[in-house]
Structure 1
Amino acid sequence: MSSSTEITQFPEVGISGSIVLTLLEKYLNNGHSLYVDNWYTSPSLFSILHEKKTNACGTVKINRKHMPPLKE
């Protein structure tokens, strides 16, 4: 048996952010918290989640696109 999920494309967050937003669609705006690894963490995604009353926390890659400067 095989299954698949249709991923809605959100160009502002790329494919990894699109996966998160698609899977969380019915859980947004409920005050839930999301914990992710550095593959999914991005300022753009976290900003959208914040707007949708969803907390987010995750590890980061310091060279991630749009990431503010971080001290090592």
Structure 2
Amino acid sequence: MNVEIKISKFSRWDWTITSQSINNISSLRRLDEFSIFLMNLAQSGTKIIIDTDYENDEVEIEAEPEASFS
């Protein structure tokens, strides 16, 4: 499953889901359940809480792998 969810945050408001609007109502029957769920979340103004405590954590390599020519 490959899904892109756009979220946005304005300076003093919380994180929200930005949805793509559907212009043609006949295309609704081709949507899967997950896309409909995301549309429901976006239309209801769902606020997202993002844990920013660990956003700057990085993985550090302790040892370099040795070259093997076999």
Q: Do the structures match in fold with TM over 0.5?
A: no
TM-score, normalised to structure 1's length? Answer: 0.27
Of Structure 1 and Structure 2, which has the larger fraction of its residues in helix?
Answer: 1
**Which one has a bigger Cα radius of gyration?**
2
